[in-house]
Structure 1
Amino acid sequence: MVNDRLVKAAHQQPVDRPPVWMMRQAGRYMKSYRELREKYSFRERSEIPELAVEISLQPFRAFGPDGVIMFSDILTPLPGLGINFDIVESRGPLMETPIRTQGQVDKLTPLEPDTAVPFVREILTTLRREVKGQATVLGFVGAPWTLASYAIEGKTSKDYAIVKKMAFSEPQLMHSFLQKLAAAVSRYMVYQIDCGAEAVQMFDSWAGQLSPWAFKEFALPYQQKIFQAVRAARPGVPLILYINGSAGILELMAQAGADVISVDWTVTMAEARRRLGPQLAVQGNLDPCLLFGPQTLIREKILEIIAEAGPTGHIMNLGHGILPTTPEENARFFFECVKSLSAPG
C-alpha cells in the first residue's frame, strides 16, 4: 500500500489525516544515532551511503513517519564548486578558505553531481527501495543566501556581519556568487529528484536574519530562480521552503514559488494561513521545546495547530529541528498523536 499523504497534502489534495515528519528527524536525540556518532565523523556519516541510509531509516523504523528525509547536510555540494569545508562536532561547519573576493568566485566550477556527490544517488535510490512506498522520500538543499553565509563567514555566525558587509558594500560581488550558487542548487535539486527524491525541501535557514529589503534583494530572487528551474525540469514534485525566524517575511516567502511554506513557531498557524493565502500548503509548526513538556500539553498544541491549519494542505512538523536532548519517548508520542487522527477503516 502506497503512503502518499505528504505528496497529496503538498498539492492540497484531501488526506485522512495530516502527514507528519520532523526536521532533523534523523539525529542526535536517538540513542542509535549517538552510537554511530562515536565511531564516525559527520562527513563519514553523511557521505558513506551505508551509514547515511541507516541513519535516515532509524526514525522510520522507530516511529513510522510519513516522510523519510535523506541524512545529509546543506553544505554537501560545495566541494563540487571548489569550496571545501569540514564539520566539527559541537562547533559546526568550518570553511577551508572563506570566500571574500571576486577572484575566488570566478574560480568556482559548475556543479557536476555525479562526480561531486555520487553517494547521493546511492543513498536516495536505496532509501526508495527500503521504504517501499510506505512514506515519501525527501531530499533537501541549502538556498544560495544561506550557503553564501557559511562560505563567506567561514563558520556559523551570531551577527552575519561579514556576509552582510559584502552584500551591502560589494553587491556586484555578492550577486555574482549567489548566481553561481543558484545554478548549482537548481542542478542539485533536479539530481536529487532523478535519484529518487519524491519531494525536496529548501532550507534558507539564515535568510530570516535579513531585513525585508535585503531579503527581496539577496534571497528571494534566487529562491524564485531555483524553484522555477526545478518546476520546469521536473513538474509535479512538491517543493518546500523553510526559513528560520520568518515571521516578518511570510508574505515575501509566499512569492518564492514553493508549493509548501514551512512555518516556524513564532506565529500561530492561523496567522500563517491568513498571511500566506489559500494558494499555498503549509508545514509545521510545533515549538521543538514543547517536546520537553508533558504529553498532555504536546497533544493539546498538536491538535491546536492541526485545527488552525484546516483539513487540507497541511504537513505536521516542528517549527525547527528537533533538539538533541529531546526525550525519545516524546518524539514517539509526537508521531503517534498525529497518526492516531486517521479516520477508522
Structure 2
Amino acid sequence: MNNRFIKVLKGEAVDRPPVWMMRQAGRYLPDYMKLKARYSFFERIETPELATEITVMPVHQVGVDAAILFSDILVIPKVLGIDVELIPGKGPVLDWTVKSESEYKKLNGEDIISRMPTVEACIKMIKAELPDHIPLIGFVGSPWTVFCYMVQGKGSKDFSEAKSFAYNHPSLALKILDKITIATIEYLGHQIDSGVDVFQVFDSWGGLLDRKNYLQFSYPFIKRICDAFPDFPSIVFAKGGWHLLDDLNQLQCNALGLDWTISADYAKSKVSKDKVLQGNLDPSMLLSSDEILVQRTNEMIASFEGHPYVANLGHGILPNIPVEKAKLFIQTVKNYRYS
C-alpha cells in the first residue's frame, strides 16, 4: 500500500500531508441522510452493504486520503449487555447504567466477538470496495469515554455523574474500566484481523479530567490498548487534552490527534518528532468564506512544518457543513507542497 497516510505514520517523508476528517462518513453528506431516513443507526453499522456504502462515500465524494470504518464507540456497552438507542435530538441513551457492584456483575464480557457477527464481513466488504491506495481506519472509544456513557446513561456536556462516581467509588470505577478495556482490546484485535490498516482511539471526554485523575482513570487503559498492538499503526486523540500532551507523548502509538485549541507551536514543544501530529482545524472554519478557508488551511499546514503531520479537523465535521466546503478543505491540503 503506497500512500501518504501510511507513509507518514511509519516515519517516511511525503510531499504533502495526508488528509481525512473525523466523522467524515456521515451526517453532512446528503446521500448519507437518505440512508439515515430509511435505516436505524445500528442497522447501518451492522449491515455490510450499508456500512460499506457509508464508509466509502467520502472517499469518492470528498476525496479524502483515508476511509474510517462507519461504526460507533458505543458498540462496547451494547456488546457488554447494555442496549443503546440513538434518539434524534437527544443522542445516545442507554437502557441501564453501571453504578453498583450488582450492575457491574451484569456486564457480560465473555466471547464478545460472537455477539458482533458482521464486523468481519463489513470490513472485508469495505476493503474490497476501497481503491488500493486508500487505507481503512478502525477505531474504538477510550475506556474512560465509554465509561462516561455507561455511568451517565446518556450524552452530557460535563459528565458530572460519571466523574463524581469515579471520584467517590474509585475501586469500582477501575473494575468497570478494566472490563471495558478487555472488551475493547478484543474488539480492536478483531478489527485488525479483519483487515483495517490503522486504528484510532477516541478519548472524547478525557479532557474533562485534570491530570491527576486522567492518570488514574484514562491514561493507564489507553496505554494497555496501545501496548496490546505495539507494531500496528495507531493514533490517540484526546479532545481537550492540551494539559496531557507530556503524558500522551509517552504512549506507544504513532500519532497524537489535536483539537483546535492546541497551537502547533505548543504541540511541537511537547511531542517528540517520532510521533506524528494530527489535526487541528476548527470544524466551524468550514463555514467561512472560500478565501478564508483556503488561507487558514494553508496556515495550519505551514505551522506544523518540521514535524510529521496529518491534516484533519480538530473534532468531527459538523452536520451543517456544505459538502463543497469539505471538498475545498481536502483539495486545499492536496494542493499544498512542502518546501
TM (norm. structure 2) is 0.96
| 1:12 shift after superposition | 2.0
Residue of structure 2 equivalent to 1:324: 319
Match of 1:288 among 258, 283, 286: 283
Bigger Cα displacement from structure 2, 275-284 vs 215-224: 275-284
| 1:332 shift after superposition | 0.5
Aligned partners of 1:11 and 1:313 also within 8 Å: no
Bigger Cα displacement from structure 2, 291-300 vs 137-146: 291-300
Q: What is the correspondence of 1:49-60 to structure 2 with a 5 Å cutoff? A: 49-60=48-59
Residue of structure 2 equivalent to 1:267: 262
CA distance in 2, matches of 1:296, 1:155: 39
Counterpart of 1:142, as a letter, is G
Provide the aligned C-alpha RMSD in A. Answer: 1.5
| 1:298 shift after superposition | 1.3
2:200 is paired with a residue whose SS is strand
CA distance in 2, matches of 1:56, 1:286: 22
Bigger Cα displacement from structure 2, 75-84 vs 20-29: 75-84
CA distance in 1, matches of 2:57, 2:278: 22
2:213 is paired with a residue whose SS is helix
Match of 1:314 among 309, 317, 326: 309
Q: What is the correspondence of 1:85-234 to structure 2 with a 5 Å cutoff? A: 85-110=84-109, 112-231=111-230
Query: Which aligned segments of 4 or more residues in structure 1 are displaced greater than 6 angstroms?
Result: none
Aligned partners of 1:3 and 1:66 also within 8 Å: no
Aligned partners of 2:298 and 2:336 also within 8 Å: no
| 1:5 shift after superposition | 1.2
Aligned partners of 2:49 and 2:125 also within 8 Å: no
Residue of structure 2 equivalent to 1:300: 295
CA distance in 2, matches of 1:168, 1:62: 46
Counterpart of 1:304, as a letter, is E
CA distance in 1, matches of 2:77, 2:129: 28
| 1:342 shift after superposition | 5.4
Aligned partners of 1:68 and 1:137 also within 8 Å: yes
Point out where structure 1 has 5 or more consecutive residues left out of the alignment.
none
CA distance in 2, matches of 1:191, 1:15: 30
Query: Cα deviations across residues 110-133 of structure 1 (Å, max 9, x unaligned)?
Result: 253531212211111111111132
Point out where structure 2 has 5 or more consecutive residues left out of the alignment.
none
| 1:28 shift after superposition | 1.1
| 1:24 shift after superposition | 0.3
Residue of structure 2 equivalent to 1:335: 330
2:269 is paired with a residue whose SS is helix
| 1:80 shift after superposition | 2.0
Q: What is the correspondence of 1:21-100 to structure 2 with a 5 Å cutoff? A: 21-100=20-99
Bigger Cα displacement from structure 2, 134-143 vs 158-167: 158-167
CA distance in 2, matches of 1:102, 1:114: 25
CA distance in 1, matches of 2:101, 2:12: 47
Percent sequence identity is: 36
Aligned partners of 2:113 and 2:187 also within 8 Å: no
| 1:158 shift after superposition | 2.4
2:85 is paired with a residue whose SS is strand
| 1:278 shift after superposition | 2.0
CA distance in 2, matches of 1:325, 1:279: 36
Bigger Cα displacement from structure 2, 72-81 vs 328-337: 72-81
Q: What is the correspondence of 1:248-267 to structure 2 with a 5 Å cutoff? A: 248-267=243-262
1:245 is paired with a residue whose SS is coil
Aligned partners of 1:189 and 1:230 also within 8 Å: no
Counterpart of 1:249, as a letter, is L
Aligned partners of 1:9 and 1:312 also within 8 Å: no
